[in-house]
A and B are shown apart, each in its own frame.
Chain A
Protein backbone atom coordinates (compact mmCIF):
# COMPACT_ATOMS: atom_id res chain seq x y z
CA UNK A 1 0.00 0.00 0.00
CA UNK A 2 2.96 2.32 0.55
CA UNK A 3 4.96 1.20 -2.49
CA UNK A 4 4.82 3.19 -5.76
CA UNK A 5 2.58 1.71 -8.51
CA UNK A 6 1.19 -0.92 -6.13
CA UNK A 7 -2.18 -2.25 -7.34
CA UNK A 8 -4.92 -2.45 -4.72
CA UNK A 9 -8.38 -3.98 -4.92
CA UNK A 10 -11.58 -1.93 -5.23
CA UNK A 11 -12.62 -2.91 -1.68
CA UNK A 12 -9.23 -1.91 -0.26
CA UNK A 13 -9.40 1.44 -2.08
CA UNK A 14 -12.89 2.07 -0.72
CA UNK A 15 -11.84 1.15 2.83
CA UNK A 16 -8.81 3.42 2.50
CA UNK A 17 -10.90 6.41 1.39
CA UNK A 18 -13.47 5.80 4.16
CA UNK A 19 -10.77 5.61 6.83
CA UNK A 20 -9.04 8.74 5.55
CA UNK A 21 -12.34 10.67 5.57
CA UNK A 22 -13.09 9.47 9.14
CA UNK A 23 -9.60 10.47 10.33
CA UNK A 24 -9.90 13.87 8.64
CA UNK A 25 -13.35 14.57 10.11
CA UNK A 26 -12.26 13.38 13.60
CA UNK A 27 -9.24 15.68 13.53
CA UNK A 28 -11.42 18.56 12.35
CA UNK A 29 -13.98 17.83 15.08
CA UNK A 30 -11.26 17.75 17.76
CA UNK A 31 -9.98 21.22 16.85
CA UNK A 32 -10.92 23.99 19.31
CA UNK A 33 -14.11 25.85 18.37
CA UNK A 34 -13.40 28.93 16.28
CA UNK A 35 -14.73 30.67 13.21
CA UNK A 36 -14.80 27.46 11.18
CA UNK A 37 -17.75 25.30 12.29
CA UNK A 38 -17.22 21.69 13.33
CA UNK A 39 -18.28 18.77 11.10
CA UNK A 40 -21.14 17.91 13.48
CA UNK A 41 -22.58 21.40 13.21
CA UNK A 42 -22.20 21.29 9.41
CA UNK A 43 -23.94 17.90 9.48
CA UNK A 44 -26.85 19.42 11.38
CA UNK A 45 -27.02 22.30 8.89
CA UNK A 46 -26.87 19.85 6.00
CA UNK A 47 -29.73 17.81 7.51
CA UNK A 48 -31.83 20.96 7.74
CA UNK A 49 -30.99 21.95 4.16
CA UNK A 50 -31.74 18.55 2.66
CA UNK A 51 -35.18 18.39 4.27
CA UNK A 52 -36.11 21.89 3.09
CA UNK A 53 -37.73 22.63 -0.24
CA UNK A 54 -35.50 25.74 -0.47
CA UNK A 55 -32.50 23.63 -1.37
CA UNK A 56 -34.15 21.38 -3.94
CA UNK A 57 -36.05 24.21 -5.66
CA UNK A 58 -32.82 26.13 -6.07
CA UNK A 59 -30.82 23.06 -7.09
CA UNK A 60 -33.40 22.44 -9.81
CA UNK A 61 -33.06 26.02 -11.09
CA UNK A 62 -29.28 25.69 -11.19
CA UNK A 63 -29.42 22.27 -12.82
CA UNK A 64 -31.74 23.43 -15.58
CA UNK A 65 -29.48 26.39 -16.28
CA UNK A 66 -26.35 24.20 -16.25
CA UNK A 67 -27.88 21.64 -18.60
CA UNK A 68 -29.05 24.36 -20.99
CA UNK A 69 -25.59 25.93 -20.93
CA UNK A 70 -23.93 22.54 -21.47
CA UNK A 71 -26.20 21.77 -24.41
CA UNK A 72 -25.42 25.05 -26.20
CA UNK A 73 -21.73 24.86 -25.27
CA UNK A 74 -21.35 21.33 -26.64
CA UNK A 75 -23.18 22.34 -29.81
CA UNK A 76 -21.00 25.40 -30.42
CA UNK A 77 -17.84 23.49 -29.47
CA UNK A 78 -18.59 20.64 -31.84
CA UNK A 79 -19.44 22.88 -34.78
CA UNK A 80 -16.23 24.92 -34.50
CA UNK A 81 -14.01 21.98 -33.56
CA UNK A 82 -15.23 19.85 -36.47
CA UNK A 83 -14.78 22.78 -38.80
CA UNK A 84 -11.27 23.42 -37.45
CA UNK A 85 -9.94 20.64 -39.70
CA UNK A 86 -10.86 22.87 -42.64
CA UNK A 87 -8.05 25.47 -42.87
CA UNK A 88 -10.51 28.31 -43.60
CA UNK A 89 -12.26 27.86 -40.24
CA UNK A 90 -9.19 26.98 -38.13
CA UNK A 91 -8.43 30.59 -37.05
CA UNK A 92 -11.94 30.91 -35.59
CA UNK A 93 -11.50 27.76 -33.51
CA UNK A 94 -8.03 28.91 -32.43
CA UNK A 95 -9.47 32.28 -31.40
CA UNK A 96 -12.14 30.54 -29.29
CA UNK A 97 -9.38 28.53 -27.59
CA UNK A 98 -7.54 31.75 -26.72
CA UNK A 99 -10.75 33.25 -25.30
CA UNK A 100 -10.24 31.22 -22.14
CA UNK A 101 -7.86 33.97 -21.00
CA UNK A 102 -10.71 36.49 -20.93
CA UNK A 103 -12.41 37.08 -17.59
CA UNK A 104 -16.18 36.88 -17.38
CA UNK A 105 -16.37 39.79 -14.94
CA UNK A 106 -15.01 42.14 -17.57
CA UNK A 107 -17.66 41.05 -20.04
CA UNK A 108 -20.75 41.31 -17.86
CA UNK A 109 -21.65 44.82 -19.05
CA UNK A 110 -21.29 43.91 -22.73
CA UNK A 111 -23.42 40.81 -22.24
CA UNK A 112 -26.03 42.83 -20.31
CA UNK A 113 -26.34 45.10 -23.35
CA UNK A 114 -26.57 42.15 -25.72
CA UNK A 115 -29.17 40.10 -23.82
CA UNK A 116 -32.85 40.68 -23.09
CA UNK A 117 -33.17 39.58 -19.46
CA UNK A 118 -31.34 38.09 -16.51
CA UNK A 119 -32.01 34.55 -17.61
CA UNK A 120 -30.42 35.14 -21.02
CA UNK A 121 -27.52 36.99 -19.43
CA UNK A 122 -26.72 34.06 -17.13
CA UNK A 123 -27.01 31.53 -19.93
CA UNK A 124 -24.88 33.50 -22.38
CA UNK A 125 -22.20 34.18 -19.76
CA UNK A 126 -22.09 30.51 -18.84
CA UNK A 127 -21.87 29.44 -22.48
CA UNK A 128 -19.17 32.01 -23.16
CA UNK A 129 -17.27 30.80 -20.11
CA UNK A 130 -17.53 27.09 -20.95
CA UNK A 131 -17.02 27.03 -24.74
CA UNK A 132 -13.31 28.00 -24.75
CA UNK A 133 -12.49 25.19 -22.29
CA UNK A 134 -14.55 22.61 -24.19
CA UNK A 135 -13.02 23.72 -27.50
CA UNK A 136 -9.47 23.57 -26.07
CA UNK A 137 -10.02 19.98 -24.90
CA UNK A 138 -11.72 18.83 -28.09
CA UNK A 139 -9.19 20.51 -30.39
CA UNK A 140 -6.49 18.67 -28.48
CA UNK A 141 -8.33 15.37 -29.11
CA UNK A 142 -8.56 16.19 -32.82
CA UNK A 143 -4.88 17.17 -33.03
CA UNK A 144 -3.85 13.93 -31.35
CA UNK A 145 -5.81 11.81 -33.81
CA UNK A 146 -3.69 8.96 -35.09
CA UNK A 147 -2.78 9.71 -38.73
CA UNK A 148 -3.47 6.06 -39.54
CA UNK A 149 -7.17 6.62 -38.85
CA UNK A 150 -7.37 9.08 -41.78
CA UNK A 151 -5.11 6.93 -43.89
CA UNK A 152 -7.18 3.80 -43.39
CA UNK A 153 -10.28 5.78 -44.26
CA UNK A 154 -8.63 7.15 -47.39
CA UNK A 155 -7.38 3.75 -48.50
CA UNK A 156 -10.95 2.50 -48.24
CA UNK A 157 -11.78 5.05 -50.90
CA UNK A 158 -13.60 7.59 -48.76
CA UNK A 159 -13.45 11.31 -49.58
CA UNK A 160 -11.96 13.81 -47.13
CA UNK A 161 -15.41 14.91 -45.95
CA UNK A 162 -16.41 11.28 -45.41
CA UNK A 163 -13.15 10.74 -43.49
CA UNK A 164 -14.01 13.75 -41.33
CA UNK A 165 -17.37 12.16 -40.56
CA UNK A 166 -15.96 8.70 -39.83
CA UNK A 167 -12.76 9.58 -37.98
CA UNK A 168 -13.70 12.77 -36.14
CA UNK A 169 -17.49 12.84 -35.78
CA UNK A 170 -18.13 9.11 -35.25
CA UNK A 171 -14.68 8.09 -34.02
CA UNK A 172 -14.35 10.79 -31.40
CA UNK A 173 -17.97 10.80 -30.16
CA UNK A 174 -16.97 8.99 -26.97
CA UNK A 175 -14.39 11.65 -26.24
CA UNK A 176 -17.08 14.34 -26.38
CA UNK A 177 -18.65 12.65 -23.35
CA UNK A 178 -15.30 12.57 -21.64
CA UNK A 179 -14.70 16.25 -22.30
CA UNK A 180 -18.16 17.14 -20.95
CA UNK A 181 -17.37 15.04 -17.92
CA UNK A 182 -13.99 16.66 -17.34
CA UNK A 183 -15.32 20.17 -17.87
CA UNK A 184 -18.63 19.77 -16.05
CA UNK A 185 -16.83 21.05 -12.97
CA UNK A 186 -16.10 24.34 -14.77
CA UNK A 187 -19.80 24.82 -15.52
CA UNK A 188 -20.71 23.90 -11.96
CA UNK A 189 -18.12 26.34 -10.62
CA UNK A 190 -19.28 29.19 -12.86
CA UNK A 191 -22.95 28.75 -12.10
CA UNK A 192 -22.59 29.96 -8.53
CA UNK A 193 -20.91 33.07 -9.91
CA UNK A 194 -23.37 33.95 -12.70
CA UNK A 195 -26.41 33.30 -10.52
CA UNK A 196 -25.31 36.15 -8.32
CA UNK A 197 -25.85 38.51 -11.27
CA UNK A 198 -29.60 37.95 -11.44
CA UNK A 199 -30.83 36.71 -8.11
CA UNK A 200 -34.58 36.92 -8.77
CA UNK A 201 -34.65 33.48 -10.40
CA UNK A 202 -32.90 31.76 -7.51
CA UNK A 203 -30.39 28.93 -7.81
CA UNK A 204 -27.76 27.50 -5.48
CA UNK A 205 -25.45 30.42 -6.29
CA UNK A 206 -28.09 32.80 -4.97
CA UNK A 207 -28.53 31.04 -1.63
CA UNK A 208 -24.78 30.62 -1.32
CA UNK A 209 -24.34 34.39 -1.72
CA UNK A 210 -27.08 35.01 0.90
CA UNK A 211 -25.45 32.66 3.43
CA UNK A 212 -22.07 34.27 2.76
CA UNK A 213 -23.53 37.74 3.25
CA UNK A 214 -24.64 36.82 6.79
CA UNK A 215 -21.43 34.87 7.53
CA UNK A 216 -23.51 31.70 8.00
CA UNK A 217 -20.53 29.43 7.53
CA UNK A 218 -22.42 26.33 8.69
CA UNK A 219 -24.83 26.62 5.78
CA UNK A 220 -22.15 27.81 3.36
CA UNK A 221 -20.11 24.65 3.98
CA UNK A 222 -23.25 22.48 4.07
CA UNK A 223 -24.25 23.89 0.67
CA UNK A 224 -20.75 23.40 -0.67
CA UNK A 225 -21.04 19.76 0.41
CA UNK A 226 -24.30 19.44 -1.55
CA UNK A 227 -22.68 21.08 -4.60
CA UNK A 228 -19.67 18.76 -4.27
CA UNK A 229 -21.87 15.64 -4.00
CA UNK A 230 -24.00 16.69 -6.98
CA UNK A 231 -20.84 17.25 -8.99
CA UNK A 232 -19.59 13.76 -8.11
CA UNK A 233 -22.98 12.29 -9.02
CA UNK A 234 -22.95 13.90 -12.48
CA UNK A 235 -19.36 12.83 -13.01
CA UNK A 236 -20.41 9.23 -12.30
CA UNK A 237 -23.55 9.54 -14.42
CA UNK A 238 -21.60 10.79 -17.45
CA UNK A 239 -19.10 7.96 -17.00
CA UNK A 240 -21.90 5.37 -16.94
CA UNK A 241 -23.59 6.95 -19.98
CA UNK A 242 -20.29 6.97 -21.89
CA UNK A 243 -19.72 3.28 -21.19
CA UNK A 244 -23.30 2.53 -22.15
CA UNK A 245 -23.29 4.44 -25.45
CA UNK A 246 -19.73 3.49 -26.40
CA UNK A 247 -19.03 0.00 -25.04
CA UNK A 248 -15.61 -0.15 -26.74
CA UNK A 249 -14.27 2.48 -24.33
CA UNK A 250 -14.36 -0.11 -21.54
CA UNK A 251 -12.06 -2.52 -23.40
Chain B
Protein backbone atom coordinates (compact mmCIF):
# COMPACT_ATOMS: atom_id res chain seq x y z
CA UNK B 1 0.00 0.00 0.00
CA UNK B 2 1.20 3.51 -0.86
CA UNK B 3 2.29 5.57 2.13
CA UNK B 4 0.48 8.85 2.61
CA UNK B 5 -0.65 11.15 5.38
CA UNK B 6 -3.14 13.95 5.78
CA UNK B 7 -2.03 17.54 6.16
CA UNK B 8 -3.89 20.82 6.58
CA UNK B 9 -7.56 21.17 5.68
CA UNK B 10 -7.98 22.67 2.21
CA UNK B 11 -11.76 22.87 2.12
CA UNK B 12 -14.42 22.43 4.75
CA UNK B 13 -18.18 22.28 4.26
CA UNK B 14 -20.05 22.81 7.54
CA UNK B 15 -23.79 22.23 7.94
CA UNK B 16 -24.61 23.39 4.41
CA UNK B 17 -28.31 23.54 3.58
CA UNK B 18 -30.08 24.95 0.57
CA UNK B 19 -33.82 25.55 0.27
CA UNK B 20 -36.19 26.17 -2.62
CA UNK B 21 -39.73 27.27 -1.79
CA UNK B 22 -39.13 26.27 1.83
CA UNK B 23 -38.21 22.78 0.64
CA UNK B 24 -34.81 21.49 1.65
CA UNK B 25 -32.82 20.54 -1.46
CA UNK B 26 -29.46 20.05 0.20
CA UNK B 27 -29.62 19.28 3.91
CA UNK B 28 -26.88 19.53 6.49
CA UNK B 29 -23.94 18.63 4.27
CA UNK B 30 -20.64 18.18 6.06
CA UNK B 31 -17.32 17.10 4.63
CA UNK B 32 -13.77 18.29 4.41
CA UNK B 33 -10.86 17.85 2.04
CA UNK B 34 -7.38 17.64 3.53
CA UNK B 35 -4.01 17.97 1.87
CA UNK B 36 -2.69 14.52 0.99
CA UNK B 37 1.01 14.21 1.59
CA UNK B 38 3.03 11.51 -0.14
CA UNK B 39 6.66 11.33 0.92
CA UNK B 40 9.02 12.59 -1.78
CA UNK B 41 6.16 13.64 -4.06
CA UNK B 42 4.41 16.88 -4.95
CA UNK B 43 0.93 16.17 -6.17
CA UNK B 44 -2.62 17.32 -5.76
CA UNK B 45 -5.73 15.21 -5.46
CA UNK B 46 -9.00 14.33 -7.12
CA UNK B 47 -12.19 14.29 -5.08
CA UNK B 48 -15.46 13.19 -6.59
CA UNK B 49 -19.02 13.86 -5.60
CA UNK B 50 -21.27 11.19 -7.04
CA UNK B 51 -25.01 11.14 -7.10
CA UNK B 52 -27.99 10.22 -9.20
CA UNK B 53 -29.52 12.63 -11.67
CA UNK B 54 -31.71 15.25 -9.99
CA UNK B 55 -30.22 14.67 -6.55
CA UNK B 56 -28.86 18.22 -6.29
CA UNK B 57 -25.32 17.81 -7.64
CA UNK B 58 -25.51 20.98 -9.70
CA UNK B 59 -26.80 22.97 -6.71
CA UNK B 60 -23.94 21.66 -4.60
CA UNK B 61 -21.55 22.50 -7.45
CA UNK B 62 -22.86 26.07 -7.57
CA UNK B 63 -22.62 26.58 -3.82
CA UNK B 64 -19.10 25.12 -3.70
CA UNK B 65 -18.05 27.50 -6.47
CA UNK B 66 -19.42 30.48 -4.55
CA UNK B 67 -21.94 31.29 -7.29
CA UNK B 68 -24.83 30.51 -4.95
CA UNK B 69 -24.98 31.27 -1.25
CA UNK B 70 -26.23 28.46 1.00
CA UNK B 71 -29.22 29.21 3.21
CA UNK B 72 -27.47 27.61 6.16
CA UNK B 73 -23.92 26.60 6.95
CA UNK B 74 -20.75 27.63 5.24
CA UNK B 75 -17.99 26.58 2.88
CA UNK B 76 -14.49 27.44 3.97
CA UNK B 77 -11.40 27.34 1.79
CA UNK B 78 -7.75 27.69 2.64
CA UNK B 79 -6.41 31.20 2.20
CA UNK B 80 -3.45 31.75 -0.05
CA UNK B 81 -1.02 33.12 2.54
CA UNK B 82 0.44 32.01 5.84
CA UNK B 83 -0.53 31.41 8.63
CA UNK B 84 -2.86 28.70 7.40
CA UNK B 85 -6.42 29.97 7.71
CA UNK B 86 -9.80 28.98 6.35
CA UNK B 87 -12.12 31.66 5.03
CA UNK B 88 -15.60 31.63 3.43
CA UNK B 89 -15.60 30.84 -0.27
CA UNK B 90 -16.40 33.57 -2.79
CA UNK B 91 -17.14 33.38 -6.51
CA UNK B 92 -13.74 33.43 -8.16
CA UNK B 93 -11.96 31.44 -5.45
CA UNK B 94 -12.40 28.22 -7.39
CA UNK B 95 -11.76 27.49 -11.00
CA UNK B 96 -15.03 26.31 -12.48
CA UNK B 97 -15.48 24.21 -15.59
CA UNK B 98 -19.10 24.09 -16.61
CA UNK B 99 -20.65 21.04 -18.19
CA UNK B 100 -20.99 22.71 -21.59
CA UNK B 101 -17.50 24.32 -21.41
CA UNK B 102 -19.06 27.74 -21.86
CA UNK B 103 -16.75 30.45 -23.25
CA UNK B 104 -17.39 34.06 -24.22
CA UNK B 105 -18.54 33.97 -27.84
CA UNK B 106 -17.06 37.40 -28.58
CA UNK B 107 -13.54 36.55 -27.47
CA UNK B 108 -10.98 34.52 -29.37
CA UNK B 109 -9.37 31.65 -27.47
CA UNK B 110 -6.28 33.79 -26.89
CA UNK B 111 -8.32 36.72 -25.57
CA UNK B 112 -10.30 34.44 -23.26
CA UNK B 113 -7.13 32.93 -21.89
CA UNK B 114 -5.64 36.39 -21.42
CA UNK B 115 -8.71 37.45 -19.41
CA UNK B 116 -7.95 34.60 -17.01
CA UNK B 117 -4.17 35.10 -16.98
CA UNK B 118 -4.60 38.75 -16.02
CA UNK B 119 -6.24 37.64 -12.77
CA UNK B 120 -3.18 35.62 -11.77
CA UNK B 121 -0.69 37.80 -9.94
CA UNK B 122 2.00 35.15 -10.27
CA UNK B 123 1.88 35.54 -14.06
CA UNK B 124 2.19 39.33 -14.13
CA UNK B 125 4.16 40.37 -17.19
CA UNK B 126 4.39 36.77 -18.41
CA UNK B 127 0.77 36.24 -19.42
CA UNK B 128 1.50 35.72 -23.13
CA UNK B 129 4.33 33.25 -22.45
CA UNK B 130 2.10 31.28 -20.09
CA UNK B 131 -0.73 31.20 -22.65
CA UNK B 132 1.59 29.97 -25.39
CA UNK B 133 3.11 27.37 -23.08
CA UNK B 134 -0.26 25.97 -21.97
CA UNK B 135 -1.64 26.09 -25.52
CA UNK B 136 1.33 24.03 -26.76
CA UNK B 137 1.01 21.60 -23.87
CA UNK B 138 -2.71 21.09 -24.49
CA UNK B 139 -2.39 21.02 -28.27
CA UNK B 140 -4.25 24.27 -28.85
CA UNK B 141 -1.55 26.47 -30.44
CA UNK B 142 -3.30 26.41 -33.82
CA UNK B 143 -6.64 27.59 -32.52
CA UNK B 144 -5.59 30.57 -30.40
CA UNK B 145 -7.04 33.05 -32.91
CA UNK B 146 -10.32 31.18 -33.29
CA UNK B 147 -13.67 31.91 -31.66
CA UNK B 148 -15.41 29.28 -29.45
CA UNK B 149 -17.92 28.46 -32.21
CA UNK B 150 -15.02 27.38 -34.42
CA UNK B 151 -13.78 24.80 -31.91
CA UNK B 152 -14.67 21.16 -31.46
CA UNK B 153 -16.14 19.97 -28.15
CA UNK B 154 -12.77 18.57 -27.04
CA UNK B 155 -10.98 21.80 -27.87
CA UNK B 156 -13.59 23.82 -25.97
CA UNK B 157 -13.08 21.61 -22.94
CA UNK B 158 -9.31 22.07 -23.06
CA UNK B 159 -9.71 25.83 -23.42
CA UNK B 160 -11.98 25.86 -20.34
CA UNK B 161 -9.44 23.87 -18.35
CA UNK B 162 -6.48 26.03 -19.42
CA UNK B 163 -8.46 29.16 -18.69
CA UNK B 164 -9.04 28.09 -15.10
CA UNK B 165 -5.46 26.87 -14.74
CA UNK B 166 -4.16 30.23 -15.95
CA UNK B 167 -6.33 31.92 -13.37
CA UNK B 168 -4.25 30.08 -10.81
CA UNK B 169 -6.83 28.68 -8.38
CA UNK B 170 -5.82 25.65 -6.38
CA UNK B 171 -9.35 24.30 -6.66
CA UNK B 172 -10.83 23.18 -9.93
CA UNK B 173 -14.52 22.29 -9.92
CA UNK B 174 -15.76 20.22 -12.84
CA UNK B 175 -19.42 19.60 -13.57
CA UNK B 176 -19.98 16.29 -15.38
CA UNK B 177 -16.69 16.43 -17.31
CA UNK B 178 -17.26 12.99 -18.88
CA UNK B 179 -20.79 13.58 -20.05
CA UNK B 180 -21.35 12.91 -23.75
CA UNK B 181 -17.74 12.04 -24.57
CA UNK B 182 -16.86 9.15 -26.86
CA UNK B 183 -14.42 6.46 -25.67
CA UNK B 184 -11.32 7.92 -27.37
CA UNK B 185 -11.92 11.44 -26.10
CA UNK B 186 -12.82 10.12 -22.66
CA UNK B 187 -9.32 8.61 -22.22
CA UNK B 188 -7.72 11.88 -23.27
CA UNK B 189 -9.83 13.87 -20.80
CA UNK B 190 -9.06 11.44 -17.97
CA UNK B 191 -5.32 11.75 -18.66
CA UNK B 192 -5.64 15.51 -18.89
CA UNK B 193 -7.32 15.76 -15.50
CA UNK B 194 -4.74 13.50 -13.91
CA UNK B 195 -2.00 15.66 -15.39
CA UNK B 196 -3.62 18.74 -13.91
CA UNK B 197 -4.01 17.13 -10.49
CA UNK B 198 -0.34 16.25 -10.43
CA UNK B 199 0.81 19.77 -11.27
CA UNK B 200 0.86 21.19 -7.72
CA UNK B 201 0.65 19.97 -4.12
CA UNK B 202 -2.54 21.91 -3.36
CA UNK B 203 -4.17 21.41 -6.75
CA UNK B 204 -7.55 19.88 -5.90
CA UNK B 205 -9.95 18.71 -8.54
CA UNK B 206 -13.54 18.31 -7.38
CA UNK B 207 -15.52 16.34 -9.92
CA UNK B 208 -19.29 16.32 -9.72
CA UNK B 209 -20.55 13.43 -11.80
CA UNK B 210 -22.92 10.52 -12.18
CA UNK B 211 -20.43 8.51 -14.27
CA UNK B 212 -19.29 6.22 -11.47
CA UNK B 213 -16.50 4.02 -12.99
CA UNK B 214 -14.67 6.80 -14.83
CA UNK B 215 -14.85 9.22 -11.91
CA UNK B 216 -13.85 6.70 -9.26
CA UNK B 217 -10.91 5.49 -11.38
CA UNK B 218 -9.15 8.83 -11.11
CA UNK B 219 -10.31 9.83 -7.63
CA UNK B 220 -8.62 9.67 -4.26
CA UNK B 221 -11.79 10.27 -2.28
CA UNK B 222 -15.44 9.77 -3.15
CA UNK B 223 -18.38 11.50 -1.52
CA UNK B 224 -21.80 10.05 -2.27
CA UNK B 225 -24.68 12.49 -2.45
CA UNK B 226 -27.96 10.79 -1.70
CA UNK B 227 -31.01 10.78 0.51
CA UNK B 228 -31.13 9.41 4.02
CA UNK B 229 -34.28 7.67 5.04
CA UNK B 230 -36.86 10.08 6.39
CA UNK B 231 -34.86 13.12 5.23
CA UNK B 232 -36.36 15.56 2.76
CA UNK B 233 -33.30 16.69 0.82
CA UNK B 234 -29.96 15.26 -0.18
CA UNK B 235 -26.86 15.00 1.90
CA UNK B 236 -23.52 13.22 1.90
CA UNK B 237 -24.55 9.69 2.76
CA UNK B 238 -21.12 8.15 2.56
CA UNK B 239 -17.48 8.95 1.97
CA UNK B 240 -14.98 6.44 0.65
CA UNK B 241 -11.25 6.85 1.07
CA UNK B 242 -9.84 5.17 -2.04
CA UNK B 243 -6.25 5.70 -0.86
CA UNK B 244 -6.95 3.63 2.22
CA UNK B 245 -8.28 0.84 -0.02
CA UNK B 246 -5.21 1.02 -2.24
CA UNK B 247 -7.29 2.16 -5.19
CA UNK B 248 -5.75 5.59 -5.73
CA UNK B 249 -2.87 6.54 -8.02
CA UNK B 250 -3.02 3.34 -10.03
CA UNK B 251 -3.28 3.54 -13.82
CA UNK B 252 -4.94 0.13 -14.21
CA UNK B 253 -7.17 0.36 -11.18
CA UNK B 254 -10.30 -0.59 -13.16
CA UNK B 255 -8.94 -4.11 -13.61
CA UNK B 256 -8.72 -4.74 -9.87
CA UNK B 257 -11.31 -6.78 -8.04
CA UNK B 258 -11.45 -4.27 -5.17
CA UNK B 259 -12.34 -1.57 -7.68
CA UNK B 260 -15.32 -3.55 -8.98
CA UNK B 261 -16.46 -4.14 -5.41
CA UNK B 262 -16.17 -0.45 -4.61
CA UNK B 263 -18.25 0.46 -7.66
CA UNK B 264 -20.90 -2.02 -6.53
CA UNK B 265 -20.80 -0.53 -3.05
CA UNK B 266 -21.26 2.99 -4.43
CA UNK B 267 -24.17 1.92 -6.64
CA UNK B 268 -25.86 0.34 -3.65
CA UNK B 269 -25.40 3.51 -1.64
CA UNK B 270 -27.00 5.73 -4.27
State the A residues within 8 Å of B (CB): 146, 148-149, 151-152, 154-158, 166-167, 170-171, 173-174, 246-248, 251
Contacts and interface: CB of A to CB of B under 8 A. Distances in A.
Interface in B75-104: 91-92, 94-96, 98, 100, 102-104
B104 A154 contact: no
A157 B167 contact: yes
B150 A151 contact: no
Given A155-B92, A156-B119, A251 B67 contact: no
Given A166-B115, A248-B149, A251-B150, A155 B91 contact: yes
Contacts of B20: none
A83 to B, nearest CB: 21
Nearest to B164: A155
Interface residues of B, number: 24
User: Taking chain B's interface residues, is the majority helix, strand, or loop, or is none over half, making it mixed?
Assistant: loop
A251 B150 CA distance: 8
Interface of B: 65-67, 91-92, 94-96, 98, 100, 102-106, 115-116, 119, 147, 149-150, 163-164, 167
B208 to A, nearest CB: 14
B92 A171 contact: no
B94 A155 contact: yes
B103 A152 contact: yes
Given A151-B96, A171-B105, 11 more contacts: A152-B96, A152-B103, A155-B67, A155-B95, A156-B167, A157-B167, A173-B106, A174-B106, A248-B105, A248-B147, A248-B149
A181 B67 CA distance: 36
Contacts of A167: 104
A251 B106 contact: no
A151 B67 contact: yes
Nearest to A157: B92
Contacts of A246: 106
Given A149-B104, A170-B106, A171-B106, A154 B67 contact: yes
A152 B106 contact: no
Contacts of B105: 171, 248
B106 A248 contact: yes
A152 to B, nearest CB: 6
A247 B100 CA distance: 23
A154 B164 CA distance: 12
A247 B105 CA distance: 11
Contact of A152 (B98, B119, B147, B149): B98
B115 A156 contact: yes
A154 B65 CA distance: 10
A166 B67 contact: no
Contacts of B106: 170-171, 173-174, 246, 248
Contacts of A155: 65, 67, 91-92, 94-96, 164
Q: Pick from A156, A247, A251 the residue with the most CB of B within 10 Å.
A: A156
Nearest to A148: B102
B104 A171 contact: yes
